[in-house]
Structure 1
Amino acid sequence: MISKAKKAARSAAVALAAAGAFSMLMPAGNAYAIDHVECRGGEDFLKIWSHMNGQQSVDCYANRGRTSFGGWWVDRISTGNNDLIYYDANGDSVRINRWTDITFPNHPPKVKDIEIL
C-alpha cells in the first residue's frame, strides 16, 4: 500500500512536470494589457482627439500594449508619461516620445492601431 505522503509527492511531481512541459511547448507571446480608460484631469494617460464621419472623440489609454484605433483621423495626441507608436492607414509607423503634445491641423493621420511602449 502506498502511503499518503508518497502519493502526494508523486502527484506534485507529475503536476510540476506537466507545467514544465506546457511552458516549454507553448510559444512565449507578448501580453497586451492596453486599456481604454476614462479621461481625467491630472492623469498622465495617453490622450487622443480624433474624428470620423462627422463624429468627434477624445479617448484615453493606459498600460503597455497595442490595440486597434479603427481608422479614425487624429487631430491631436498628448502622450503623457507614455511612449507611443501609431500605425497609419498608409502602412507607416510613427513613434512619439512621452511628454509630447502634437496637433495635426492640416493633414491628420488616419490611424489603424496604437501601441504604448
Structure 2
Amino acid sequence: MFSIKKRVLTVAAAAAAAFSLLAPTGTSFAIDHIPCRDGENFLKIWSHLGGSSSVDCYANRGRIGFGGWWIDRIYTGNNDLMYYDSNGADVRINRWTDISFPNRPPKVRVIEIL
C-alpha cells in the first residue's frame, strides 16, 4: 500500500514539474482589434481589398493575421510595428510614424506590435 501511494505522489510531482516547464511564464500579451477614437495613440491602419476599404485600430503587444489586404496608410502611435507582406518582406516601422503608400501599397499577411 505504501509503495502505491509513493508511486502516485511521484507521478503527480512529475506531472506538475512537466506542466511548469511547458506552461508560459510571466505576463502574456495578445494584440486586440479595438474601436478607433480620435486623439488615441493606438496603431491605426487604413487598408483596402477589392471594392472594400477599412480603418482599423489595434492595441497591445502581439501578432494577428491581416488577410492580404492592401495597406494605404499606417499611423503607429506609441507602438513599434512589424508587418509581413505577401512578397516575404518583414518591415519594421518605429513608433510615432505616419506613413502613406499612395502608389505601391504593400499587401500584408500579418501585423505585429512589438
TM range (shorter): 0.7 to 0.9
Question: What is the TM-score with the length of structure 2 in the denominator?
Answer: 0.82
Indicate the percent of aligned positions where both proteins have the same amino acid. 70
Alignment of 1:1-117 (within 5 A): 18-24=15-21, 26=22, 28=24, 31-117=28-114
RMSD of the alignment, in Å? 2.4
Question: What is the TM-score with the length of structure 1 in the denominator?
Answer: 0.80
Unaligned runs of 5+ in 2: 1-8
What secondary structure, in the 3-state scheme, does the structure 1 residue paired with 2:102 have? Answer: coil
Q: How many pairs does the alignment contain?
A: 104
Q: What is the CA–CA distance in structure 1 between the aligned matches of 2:16 and 2:77, rounded to whole Å?
A: 40
Q: What is the CA–CA distance in structure 1 between the aligned matches of 2:99 and 2:90, rounded to whole Å?
A: 16
* 1:64-85, Cα deviation, whole Å (9 max, x unpaired): 0000000000000000000000
What secondary structure, in the 3-state scheme, does the structure 2 residue paired with 1:49 have? Answer: strand
Aligned-partner residue type, residue 37 of structure 1: I
* 1:12-39, Cα deviation, whole Å (9 max, x unpaired): xx98775433112x16489440000000
- Consecutive aligned runs of 4 or more in structure 1 exceeding 2 Å deviation: 14-21, 27-32
Aligned-partner residue type, residue 58 of structure 1: V
Unaligned runs of 5+ in 1: 1-10
Name the CA shift for 1:17/1:38 in 2 (closer, same or farther; >3 Å).
same
